[in-house]
Each structure stands twice: as structure tokens, then as C-alpha cells.
Amino acid sequence: MAEKSKKPQKLKARLPRGLEDRGPAAINATRAMVEKIRAVYELYGFEPVETPAMEYTDALGKFLPDQDRPNEGVFSFQDDDEQWISLRYDLTAPLARYVAENFDALPKPYRSYRFGYVFRNEKPGPGRFRQFMQFDADTVGSATPAADAEICMMAADTMEALGIPRGSYVVKVNNRKVLDGVLEAIGLGGDENAGRRLTVLRAIDKLDKFPADEVRKLLGAGRWDGGEEGKGDFTKGAELSPADADIVLAVTQKRDDWKEAIAAAETYLAKSEVGQAGVSELEEIAKLVAASGYGADRIRIDPTVVRGLEYYTGPVYEVELLLDTKDEKGRPVRFGSVGGGGRYDGLVSRFRGEPVPATGFSIGVSRLQAALTMLGQLDARAEFGPVVVTVFDRDRVADYQKMVAQLRQSGIRAELYLGNPKNMGNQLKYADRRNSPCVIIQGSDEKARGEVQIKDLIEGAKAAAAIASNQEWRETRPAQFSCAEADLVAKVREVLARHDVAWG
């Protein structure tokens, strides 16, 4: 007996981990954010440039945090000529390649902005995606701290343009040279101390989350997550002496007055040339932003800012949201950093063999969008859909399509119902699901009178919510009226204006 032929297995629709699908509401919110960011960047004189999502892997370099080889942490594949290509993990490394390749044709300093998705081959988790959007601005070809100060001021202005009130964010500024000076002062120079240097920097980075006494443990023998020996996981420390730990904590202590922070760094880094250079740059940035009216409530010297990427060589900055809110389960949420950047004077130089100073800033659009949505600063709803022209008589589709064309020619989003027109109720349900502001209906009686019916779905929804019984609904037929065919466009405009409907 012949075997029964097996049914082909149906392919299971599934989204890869660490990625997300995005609907109209999220896309519209992103569009609104991007336009506000773009307006501020252009106000500062930056111009757009776009680089591909893929680069040769060696052009990206070994710059991901805590990674040991170039293709770790990035998505890579081999081209047909066996060249390794990777999806970009940020927007800065591709810019460095672009500037180096077009160096002679570009004005210097070169001021540009770009936005787009970046990709990280990392373990996904809550709020941690493998694809997310960034919006960058960079100045290449200027070594002056004025370029860094300008970036910080632009970051502050961008936050306020996005609706984040003053006092609800802060731009924190530090300098990698100061951190290098600290490491030099405690004897951790040289390649042999690279591991301990990284441990010290990680400990400093925890000063935002832990009290100084807990960070002292990370600088010393190590720390138990549970607070007591044997409780929770153990994090090995940097094995610094108490005196060296004192130096680290003294320089990185947060102070309200930037002059006190500068004075402390000068005291402990008096013998470090690189440390003193970093202090001088911080002092210059602080004076420049203050002269432009940006107080410590907006831009603040913060010695705890580290930034993870290896390519930073001078000032580093981070934008932190200070607002607390609650997630969908009522748990407190602190968003923390939503953007950052710094000076990377060695990145373009890799391609040119000569010094090319550069500084830049990146906003994590996806992360900031989640924060603004939770804080109520972004409308999480989809924008209104098109006006739907329904099909009452199947043999009059050309008449209905003509109405659609008239609306579109007048700049009104409109569509003809293209489903099965047998049931008018289904057509109205479709318009509801499309979030349409109104629908157009014309049966044979209306056609004979030269009229159309306009059903205001927004007003209808409001009325329906207030009506107690179906009988009352049937008797009132709210928000539906007739008008002459010739007045169709004008009457639809009236409905849209009444509800302040706008698209885009």
C-alpha cells in the first residue's frame, strides 16, 4: 500500500530575538522626534550625510566595548571576494571612513549629521535590541574645546526641543585624559596593566548606581552583590591599595560646583601631564558653556562619566534623564543615559596617517522614544488614517473612485474601500480600524439628488460613548449629514478642521 503523502509543513511566522516590528504609531512618533532633532542640528550649521549600513569589517575597527576581536559584537559575513563585511554598530566609525575617503573634497572643519539603524550582535534583553536607531552630529577637523562645548550645548537644546523640561535632564561632561591621569597617578600605565585599568574604569562607572563605599570595594578586593561575604555573585576588584583607591574616589567625586571638581583634579593630578591637559580642557568647556548661558542645571562637569567605546581620546559627554516614572507594572523606572559622545582624535587618523581631530554626539533615538512615550511626551496613538469612500452600489465603482481622486487632488488622504462591498457594516468597521476621521457614503437615492452622506467617525465615537441605549443611537444617527456632491471637498475639510486632523 502506497504511503500517504505527507502534508507540507506550514512555515512558522516568527521574529528573530532582539528585533521588533513597528506599527504606524511608533513610526509616526519616530518621525516627529527625528524632525525635531534635525531642526536643532541644522540650526547649529550641521548638514546631512548618509553612509551605508554595511562597511568592511577592518574599517569599523576593534572598538566595541570589552571585545577582543574585530567581528565580535557585530554581524559579519564574507563577500564573494572573501572580504569581511559587517553591519555598522554605530554611526561614527562609518563617518570616519567617509571623511578619510573624501578628505580633500570636504570643507574643514566638516560638520555633518546622520541618522539610521545600527546593529549589535549582543545577547538581547529587556529594552536591549539588536537593531536600534541613532542620530549623530560630528565636527571633524577642529581640535578646539569650543567644538566640544558646542556639542554639549546642542545636546541640551535638543532635549528641550523634544519636550524635556529644564531640570529633567542634564548633560554630563568629563575627559578621558583626566581618567588617564588618574590611572597614571596610581601606577597603572603600560600594556601589562590594561586589565586592571578596565576594572578601575568599570568601578568608576558604577558611582552613579552605588555609594562610594561600595565602589571602594570594586577598587579593592571585590564586591558581593548581596552586600555581605558569600551573598549573591562576587565581582573581582582592581586590587588597588587604600591610598590609591582614595585618589580615584577623590578625583571622581561628584561636586555641585564645577570649579571644585576642577580644583580636586588639579590637586591629585599635579604630576600627570595628560591629566593636567584634561583638566584644562574641562575648564575651558565649562567657561564656554557658562558664557553662553548654560548653567550647571543643564551642562555639568561630572568626573564619573566614562563612556564604553575605546576610541574616545578627550572630552566625553552623556545626556541623562533625571525623571523617574513607572513601567506598565507600576515599578519605578530611571531611564538614565539617552545619548552620549566625545572626542575621538585617532579614528580618522587610522586611514590617513596624520592627526585628524574630531568630536561628536549620538542620541539613542529608540531608547529616548521609549522614555518620552512613557513620560507622556510623545503621542503613542497612530495618526488619523485616510478618509474612506465606501462602495454602496457595486456597478458605480467609477463614481466612487472619482470622489477619491477629488479628495486626493485637494491634498486630503483618501482611499476607496477595496474589500467585499456586500456589507456596509463591514466597510464602516474597516474605516474604524483604519482610524479614519470620516467616511463617504452615496447610495442610489443620494446620487439621484446629487448628494453624498458624510459620516463623522470621530464625533460619532464621542456621541456613542455618551448615549445610554441602542434605541437612542438609532433615533439620533449622530454625526452623519448630507451635502451636495459639489461641496464634498469643502465639507470634508470642515470635519477635519473641527477635529484638528493633520497628517505627517
With contact defined as beta carbons under 8 Å apart, do 74 and 64 qualify? Answer: yes
Q: Tell whether 397 is covered by a domain.
A: yes
pLDDT tens digit sequence for 331-361:
776 778 899 999 999 899 999 988 899 999 9
Q: Tell whether 296 is covered by a domain.
A: yes
Separation of alpha carbons 49 and 110, rounded Å: 11
Q: Which of 54-58, 67-71, 431-435, 438-442 has the lowest mean pLDDT?
A: 67-71
Mean pLDDT of 395-408: 96
Give the alpha-carbon dihedral of 159, 163, 168, 170, to 10 degrees: 10
Q: Tell whether 171 is covered by a domain.
A: yes
Handedness of CA 461, 467, 468, 474 (dihedral sign): negative
Same domain, 299 and 422: no
Separation of alpha carbons 409 and 389, rounded Å: 15
Q: Tell whether 347 is covered by a domain.
A: yes
What pLDDT, on the 0 to 100 scale, is given for residue 69? 44
Same domain, 154 and 51: yes
Look at residue 248 and give its three-state secondary structure. helix
Q: Tell whether 380 is covered by a domain.
A: no
Same domain, 315 and 266: yes
**Among candidate residues 490, 472, 470, 471, the one with its CA nearest the CA of residue 481:** 490
Q: Tell whether 19 is covered by a domain.
A: no
**Among candidate residues 60, 146, 78, the one with its CA nearest the CA of residue 109:** 146
* Residue 417 belongs to domain with CATH number: 3.40.50.800
Strands 438-441 and 451-456: antiparallel
With contact defined as beta carbons under 8 Å apart, do 366 and 132 qualify? Answer: yes
What pLDDT, on the 0 to 100 scale, is given for residue 72? 64
DSSP 357: -
Q: Tell whether 407 is covered by a domain.
A: yes
Question: Across the chain, what does the average pLDDT equal?
Answer: 87
Separation of alpha carbons 392 and 414, rounded Å: 17
- Domain that residue 465 falls in: 387-498
Separation of alpha carbons 456 and 12, rounded Å: 41
Separation of alpha carbons 106 and 210, rounded Å: 46
Separation of alpha carbons 476 and 479, rounded Å: 9
Q: Give the pLDDT band of residue 255 (cuts 50, 70, 90).
A: confident
Q: Hey, what's the cell of 12?
A: 512558522
Ranges of beta strands (E only) in 198-354 are 222-224, 234-236, 299-301, 315-326, 332-343
Q: Which of 100-114, 297-311, 436-450 has the lowest mean pLDDT?
A: 297-311
* Residue 163 belongs to domain with CATH number: 3.30.930.10
With contact defined as beta carbons under 8 Å apart, do 109 and 147 qualify? Answer: yes
Looking at 339, 374, 409, the residue that finishes a domain is 374
Q: Which of 102-116, 145-159, 199-213, 284-298 has the lowest mean pLDDT?
A: 199-213
Residue 92 CB burial class (10 angstroms; 0-12, 13-18, ≥19): buried
The answer to whether residue 326 scores a pLDDT higher than 70 is no
Rg from Cα positions in the chain: 30
Same domain, 322 and 358: yes
Same domain, 35 and 83: yes
Phi first, then psi: give them for residue 46, nearest 5 degrees: -85, 150
> In what helix (H) or strand (E) does residue 446 lie, and over which residues does it extend?
helix 444-449
What pLDDT, on the 0 to 100 scale, is given for residue 391? 96
The answer to whether residue 141 scores a pLDDT higher than 70 is yes
Q: Hey, what's the cell of 137?
A: 552630529
What pLDDT, on the 0 to 100 scale, is given for residue 64? 52
Separation of alpha carbons 456 and 171, rounded Å: 47
Amino acid letter for position 469: S
What pLDDT, on the 0 to 100 scale, is given for residue 60? 85
CB atoms within 10 A of CB 336: 14
Same domain, 145 and 52: yes
Same domain, 335 and 429: no
What percent of the chain clears pLDDT 90, i.e. is strictly above it? 52
pLDDT tens digit sequence for 30-70:
999 999 999 999 999 999 999 999 999 988 876 554 444 44
Mean pLDDT of 292-303: 93
Same domain, 362 and 399: no
With contact defined as beta carbons under 8 Å apart, do 317 and 343 qualify? Answer: no
The answer to whether residue 177 scores a pLDDT higher than 80 is yes
**Among candidate residues 193, 454, 169, 446, the one with its CA nearest the CA of residue 335:** 169
Instruction: Indicate the length of the chain as a whole number.
Output: 504
Choose between 20 and 258: higher pLDDT.
20
Same domain, 485 and 342: no
What pLDDT, on the 0 to 100 scale, is given for residue 153? 98
Same domain, 349 and 471: no
Mean pLDDT of 250-268: 83
The DSSP code sequence of 361-397 is EEEEHHHHHHHHHHTT-S--SPPP--EEE--SSGGGH
Choose between 250 and 61: higher pLDDT.
250
Same domain, 415 and 477: yes
Same domain, 321 and 401: no
The answer to whether residue 187 scores a pLDDT higher than 60 is yes
Separation of alpha carbons 245 and 143, rounded Å: 32
* For residue 109, cis peptide bond before it (omega within 30 degrees of 0): yes
Looking at 330, 346, 374, the residue that finishes a domain is 374
Separation of alpha carbons 336 and 319, rounded Å: 8
Looking at 374, 409, 425, the residue that finishes a domain is 374
What pLDDT, on the 0 to 100 scale, is given for residue 353? 86
Question: What is the tally of structural domains in the chain?
Answer: 2
Q: Tell whether 325 is covered by a domain.
A: yes
